[in-house]
Amino acid sequence: MSDTPIAVSVVVLSYDRVHLLERTLVNCLKPDVSNGVPFEIVVVDNHPDRLAQPLVSRLAEGGAPIRYFADARRNVSIVRNVGIKAALGRYVAFIDDDEAPDANWLSELHACLERTGADAAFGPKYPVFEAGRPPAWDPEGWRYTLDYREPADTPIHLFGRLRKKGKGLGSGNAAFRMATCFDTPEPFAVAFGDANGEDTHLLFRLALAGKRFVWCPTAVVREFIETDRTKPSYMITRMKRGSQHYAASRVATSDRPGLTRIKVTLLGLAQIAVHAGLYLTSGEWLAGDRFDNRIGMAKGLGKLSYRAPIGFIDEKAA
């Protein structure tokens, strides 16, 4: 490791996708990704068999600025907090183990935060499909894309206009200012970490505390989409679960939780009613390649069932 102060700590969590993790780490280490910004990579292994350790050890022995940590407790908040606690940088960037950065990714996130003074910056995610093309029911791959298509440094208001574009943010492809975002012992709430709702809760909490978020369109990652995740049933489940996270986080961070529960319930009922009507009148129920209104109903159902256990989506083992 160099004696130069670290500007950005890149935290990567790993469970059982070591076959994809290597793609993530190797790309993060390319010189044109950081462009001279001093950085380190912190890998936190969440698998009880420490599956990522041999890969990280091999990269570290080759001189990569990478460190390994492990915690077998199956809770995403716990392992995110382990990574934050270990981080030495002024900023912490998260990238998922199924994502790989484009050139300039880290230097653009760093420059954006330095230039704007914002507390967090977020970049686009574009899909790379295992099958080589998007699924027939989503021919442009838009359901797997995160791109607000806004200029650099555009402010992001979680409850405002950009939220209405239908794209919720997460911690993947995001960089946070350590001093203002992670100034508590457990920045990610453990109560929200058993089903990947921890980042929604964190972002709501930070937004309500007045933290500033900005869009960084030049910090791009490519998410590898395995074929099992292109099934409509997977996306319907994912959208329902995301809506559950949204509702639970809104209630948990509200200073008037009773009123917020009513608003969330009414919104869920409205979504179900509107999309059920469109599902019938548009003929979607007759079409095998259209799922927009089924996804809309799933979002509404998620808001009504946010108190139920959410759990992880079952996916094929690596």
Distance CA 282, CA 141 (A): 22
| 177: containing domain | 8-229
Pair (240, 195) in one structural domain: no
User: pTM of the predicted model, to two decimals?
Assistant: 0.92
Pair (137, 269) in one structural domain: no
Tens digits of residue pLDDT in 100-151: 999 999 999 999 999 999 999 999 999 999 999 999 999 999 999 999 999 9
Which of 267, 109, 226, 111 has its CA nearest to residue 175? 109
Instruction: Say yes or no to pLDDT of 73 above 60.
Output: yes
User: For residue 316, is it within any domain?
Assistant: no
User: For residue 3, is it within any domain?
Assistant: no
Tens digits of residue pLDDT in 13-58: 998 888 899 999 999 999 999 999 999 999 999 999 999 999 999 9
The amino acid that residue 190 corresponds to is V
Identify the domain boundary among 192, 213, 229: 229
The total of other beta-carbon atoms located within 10 Å of residue 142's CB is 13
Distance CA 134, CA 200 (A): 27
Pair (139, 251) in one structural domain: no
Please, are residues 17 and 55 in contact by the beta-carbon 8 Å criterion? Answer: no
User: For residue 309, is it within any domain?
Assistant: no
CATH number for the domain that contains residue 165 = 3.90.550.10
Pair (144, 41) in one structural domain: yes
User: For residue 1, is it within any domain?
Assistant: no
Pair (177, 259) in one structural domain: no
Pair (67, 179) in one structural domain: yes
User: For residue 141, is it within any domain?
Assistant: yes
**Contacts (Cβ under 8 Å, ≥6 apart) of 47:** 14, 15, 16, 72
Give the number of domains in the chain: 2
Q: What are phi and psi of 161, to 5 degrees?
A: -60, -45
Q: Which residue is listed with tokens 């390994």?
A: 68
Tens digits of residue pLDDT in 224-263: 999 999 999 999 999 999 899 999 999 999 999 999 999 9
